[in-house]
Structure 1
Amino acid sequence: MNDLASAAAPGRTLCRPAVRAALRRALPGLAAFAAIRLLGWAVLAVWSASRGASWHTLLTARWDSLWYTRVAELGYGYTVPLPDGGTHSNLAFFPLLPWLERLGSALTPLSPADAGMAVAWLSSLAAAWALYATGERLYGPRAGVALAALWGALPIGIVQSMAYSESLFTALAAWGVYAVWTGRWVWAGVLASLAGLTRPVGVAVVAAVWLTAAAALLADRAGGATLRSSLARRRGLVAGVLVAPLGWCGYFLWVGAQQGSLTGYLDVQGAWGNGFDGGFAFGRFLWGLLSGPGWAGGLGLTAGVALVLVLYAAGVRRGQPLPLLVYCGVVVFLALTAKGFFGSKPRLMLPAYPLLLPLAAGLARWRPLRAGLLIGAVAVGSALYGAFWLNGTGPP
C-alpha cells in the first residue's frame, strides 16, 4: 500500500511527510495534465485571435460564468425575464464557486471573473492529483499518469480552464471519493458537503459516502462484529455520514425558503428547462436526430452514450471499488436522465472520471512512448475541438 493510502487507513491521521511523498509521486501526472491544458489554452488563444475574439472573454465572461460572477458581485435574487413570461433565476447556481470568486477578488487584485478562472485552474490541478492517486492505487503509477492525462485531454477538456464549477466539483468529488475508499470518513463527509455546495450532482458524492458506509457495516456484521465494535473500528464513520449531505441539503432547503416552497429549487430549475424526467426528453431528442436530416449526428450521439455505458460496465467487471462505482453511476444516471440543454450532457459527465479508468489501465500496459504518442494525439485533437467549440456555439 502506498504512503498516502497507509496514512489514510482507518484510525490514522494523514501526516505531512505522506502528503509530500504522494505529491512527489503525482508530479509526472500533474505535469502531463498541465501540459495538455496549456496546449488547449494556447490553441484557443491563437484561434480566438485569428477571429478577432478574446480567449479571456471566452473563459471568464460567457454563458454560465457570467451567472456565477453576478452571484459573486450582486448576491442571489438576480433574474432575467424571458419572452414567454418566464424567468431565469441565479438561484439555479450553487454558491461555493461564487463565494470563492468573491473571496479571491477581496484578497487579490483579481476581478471576480478572473478569480473564478484561477479557482478553475487550481482546482483542475487538484482534481488531476486525485485522479493520479486513484489510478495509482488501483493499477500503478503509469495508470495514474494516464488517468490524469486522459481527463485533461477529453474533447470538452477546455471547460476545466473556464470560470465554471466543473473543475472545482471534480476536485472535491474525486478527493471525497478517495477519502471514502481509504476510510477517512470525516474528510469524506466534509468534502461531500462542499461538493454538494458546488453542483446539484453533489448528491453523487453523498451517495458514495452513505452506500459505502452501509456496505462496510453490513460486511462487519456478516463477519460477526457488533455495531458498537464496528463503529469503534471505523472511527468517524457516523460523523462523515451525517456531515456529507449538509451542503446539498442546506442549499436546496435555503432556496425552498426563498421561493416559499419545499420544491423551490426544482421550480427554479424547471423555469430553466431543466429537471429529471427519466431520460424521456433526451430519448425523444435522440430519436428526432436519428429519424431526421441530422441522423449522422444522432448516430454519433448514440455511439457516445453506448461508449459511456460500455466503460461503466467495464469498471464493474474489473471490480472497481464501491465508492467509485456508486459515484460514477449516479453522475452518469443524472446526466443521461435530465431534460433540457441536451448539448450540455458531455459537460455534465466531465466529473465522471472513473469511466476513464479502464482506458488508463490499458494504456499503462503499453510502452511509455506509444502511450505518450496516443495521448498526445488525443490532446491535440482536444485542443483544436475546444478552440472551435468555444469560438462557435460553446457550452449552453
Structure 2
Amino acid sequence: MAKLHVAERASVPQGHGVGTSTPTAVPERAGGAARRVRLPFGRRLLPGAAPALALFLSIRLAGIGAIALANHLDRHALLKGLATSWDSRWYLHIAEHGYGTRVHVLATTGAVQRDWAFFPLYPGLIRAVHTVLPVSWNVVALLVAWSAAVVAAYGIYAIGHDVYGRAVATALVGVWAALPHAVVLDIAYTESLLTALAAWSLYAVMTGRWMWAGVLAALAGLARPTGFAVAAAVAAVAVREIVVRRGRVPPALWIGTAIAPLGWAGFVLWVGHRTGDLLDGYFKVQHAWDSRFDFGAGSVRFLKALLLYGGRVVYPLALVLVVAAVVLFCLLCFDRAPLALIVYAGMLVLITVGGSGPYASKPRFLVPAFPLLFPIALAFARSWRVRPKHVLLIGTVLAVLSLAYGSYLLTASRTPL
C-alpha cells in the first residue's frame, strides 16, 4: 500500500496507535518497493520542519541561557562547564592526545579506568574539525555536539512526519527537546551524535534505503556502547523482510545489514586486541567503570538502598523516569509502532534497566530513545486540536522545569551526569 500524502494525514486520527494511521505502510515497503524514496537532504526541508527545528532551537538555547545564569551566580565560566563536565574531559583528552594516554585509579576499589571505554567517533570528529577551524578544543567539541543535536532533531521530525504527519512530528521534537535530561544535548557529550545517526538510520530502514541504513548504523556503533541497538533494529527489519519475501530481497538489504554492526564490533575487537584479550578485553575495561549487564541486579540494589536510606532528588527522579520509560515502551508496542522503532527503543530500555552503573545516569542513557515519546507526542497533537492554549501552557511549564532541572544537574547536583 502506498504511503499516504501529507495532506491526507494532516490531522491525527482518533483511536489509533503509533503507525496505524498509515496502515504500517512505511515498514512494509522496507524491502525495496518500486517507488524510490529519497532521504530529505535536498534543498528544501520536509513540510513543517522549519517550525519544529525552531522550537527545538528555542528550547535548547534557553537551556544554555539557564546554564549561563547558574554559572554566573556561582562565578563559574560557561564554556568550561559546557565542554568539560564529567565524561567530556575524557573525550577531549582522546581527541587531543589519542587512546592509551590517560588512566584513572579509583582510590576506593583500586580499579583502573582507561580511556578505551569511550567510543571513537565523537573524539575523532572533534579532532577532524579542529584541524580545519582555528578555535579551541572546547569550542570544537561543543560545535560538533550542537550540530549533531540539530541533525538529530530533524531526523526525529522526519520519522514522526513519515509515520503520523506534521503535528505529531513537531510535538515529538518539542518533547524530546524538553526531556528532564535534555541538558546533555547542550554539552560535550555523545547522546546527540548517537541520536542523529540512529534517527537517520531508522528513517532509511523505514523508507527502504538499506545502504544508508547500514552505513549510518555502523557509525552509530562507533558513537556509544549502546549504538549497537541501531544495528539490531536494522537486522530485525531485514529478517522480517527476508521471511515475508521468502528471500527475494535486493542485494542492498544484505549488504546494508552486514555493514550495520561493523562499527561497534570493530571497536570492541580493537580494544580487545590492545588489552591482549580479543573477545573479552573491552568488557573488562567497561567492568572497571562498573558498566556491565547484570540483568537488573544493580537496579534492585539501588531500589533497596533508596527505600531504606532515601537520597537526593536526582535518585528518586531517575527511578521515576526509568519506570516511565518502561511504561512508554509498552504503549509503543501496544500502538503497533514500526518494528525498527520498537527494536531500537526496546534495546535501549533493556540496557538501561538491566545494566549496572550509577543509577542517576540512567535517564541520560534514554535520551536517544526518542521513539518512546510517540505516545506523549500523540497526546499533545490530539489535544492541540481541541485546547491549544492548554497544550501551550503545559508544554511551557514542562520546558521550564526541564531547563531548571538541567541547569541544576550541570551546576549544583554534584552527581555524575
Q: TM-score scaled by structure 1?
A: 0.92
Assess, with a 3 A threshold, how the Cα gap between structure 1 residues 175 and 236 changes in structure 2: closer, same or farther.
same
SS of 2:76 mapped into structure 1 = coil
Matched residue type, 1:43: A
Greater shift in the superposed pair: 309-318 or 19-28: 19-28
Which of 160, 166, 175 matches 1:141?
166
Q: Does 1:270 align with 2:290?
A: no
Distance 1:270 1:17 in 2: 41
Aligned to 1:378: 398
The one of 149, 153, 156 equivalent to 1:124 is: 149
Q: Distance in 1 between matches of 2:92 and 2:111?
A: 22
The separation in 2 between residues aligned to 1:16 and 1:64, in whole angstroms, is 33
Within the candidate set 379, 389, 393, 1:362 is matched to: 379
1:212 to 227, 234, 237: 237
What residue is the counterpart of 1:34 in the other structure? Answer: 57
Partner SS state of residue 53, structure 1: coil
Amino acid at match of 2:276: G
Contact 2:321–2:363 (CA under 8 A) maintained in structure 1: no
| Structure with a larger share of its residues in helix | 1
Aligned in 2, Cα 1:115/1:2: closer, same or farther, shift over 3 Å?
farther
User: Which 5+ residue runs of structure 1 have no aligned equivalent?
Assistant: 222-226
> 2:264 maps to what in 1?
248
Following superposition, the deviation at residue 395 of structure 1 comes to 3.5
- Residue in structure 2 matched with residue 68 of structure 1 by the alignment: 91
TM-score normalised per structure 2: 0.87
Shift of 1:46: 1.1
Q: What does residue 197 of structure 2 align with?
A: 172
- CA positional deviation for 1:3: 8.0
Q: Indicate if the aligned counterparts of 1:206 and 1:245 stay in contact, CA closer than 8 A.
A: yes
| Alignment match of 1:194 (pick from 219, 228, 231) | 219
Q: Distance in 2 between matches of 1:133 and 1:147?
A: 10
Q: 1:317 aligns with which of 317, 334, 354?
A: 334
Asked if 2 retains the 8 angstrom alpha-carbon contact of 1:124 and 1:168, the reply is: yes
Return closer, same or farther for 1:295/1:382 CA change in 2, 3 Å cut-off. Answer: closer
Query: Please, what is the CA RMSD of the aligned residues?
Result: 2.3
- How far apart, in 1, do the equivalents of 2:362 and 2:321 lie? 11
- Whole-angstrom CA distance in 2 between matches of 1:116 and 1:18: 24
Task: Say if 2:315 and 2:360, in contact at 8 Å, map to a contact too.
Answer: no
Change in Cα spacing, 1:46 to 1:241, as seen in structure 2 (3 Å) is same
Aligned equivalent of 1:150, options 175, 188, 192: 175
**Equivalenced residues, count:** 387
Quick check: 1:123–1:167 contact (8 Å CA) kept in 2? Answer: yes
Deviation at 1:17, TM superposition (A): 7.9
Change (3 A) 1:293 1:64: closer
Higher mean Cα deviation, 284-293 or 351-360?
284-293
Tell me the equivalent position of 2:411: 391
Contact 1:290 1:296 in 2 (8 A): no
Distance 1:254 1:27, change over 3 A: same
Matched, 1:48 2:66: no
Q: Which moved more, 1:83-92 or 1:56-65?
A: 83-92
Q: CA deviation at 1:339?
A: 0.7
State how far apart, in whole Å, the 1-side matches of 2:322 and 2:356 are.
Answer: 15
Q: Give the superposition deviation at 1:11.
A: 6.0
* Pick aligned residue for 1:349 from 366, 385, 402: 366
How far off is 1:296 after superposition?
A: 8.3
Report how far residue 310 of structure 1 moved.
Answer: 1.3
Give the conservation status (yes or no) of the 8 Å contact 1:101–1:113: no
The answer to whether the 8 A contact 1:135-1:360 is kept is no
Partners in 2 of 1:313 and 1:17 — Cα distance?
A: 30
* Counterpart-to-counterpart distance in 2, 1:370 and 1:303: 25
- The answer to whether the Cα contact below 8 Å between 1:91 and 1:268 also exists between their aligned partners in 2 is yes
Give, in angstroms, the shift of residue 306 of structure 1.
Answer: 2.6
* Amino acid in structure 1 at the alignment position of 2:54: A
Q: Is the 8 A contact 1:290 1:299 kept in 2?
A: no
Of 89, 105, 114, which residue of structure 1 is paired with 2:130? 105
Match of 2:13 in 1: none
* Paired residues of 1:282 and 1:337 also in contact (CA < 8 A): yes
SS of residue in 2 equivalent to 1:236: helix
Q: Distance in 1 between matches of 2:73 and 2:154?
A: 34
How far is the alpha carbon of 1:15 from its aligned partner? Answer: 5.1
Q: Secondary structure at the match of 2:110?
A: coil
**Alignment partner, residue 260 of structure 1:** 276
Pairwise CA distance, 1:384: 0.9
Report how far residue 297 of structure 1 moved: 7.3
- In structure 2, C-alpha distance between the alignment counterparts of 1:238 and 1:281, rounded to whole Å: 38
Q: Measured at CA, do residues 218 and 15 of structure 1 come closer, stay the same or move farther in structure 2, by a change above 3 Å?
A: closer
Contact 1:104–1:110 (8 Å) recurs in 2: no
Letter in 1 for 2:81: L
Instruction: String of CA shifts for 1:55-105, please: whole Å, max 9, x gaps.
Output: 211110121110000000110002123324331100000000000000111
Deviation for aligned residue 1:302? 4.3
The one-letter code sitting in structure 2 at the alignment partner of 1:163 is A
- Structure 2 vs 1, CA of residues 284 and 315 (structure 1 numbering), >3 Å: closer, same or farther? same
Identity %: 40
Amino acid aligned to 2:103: T
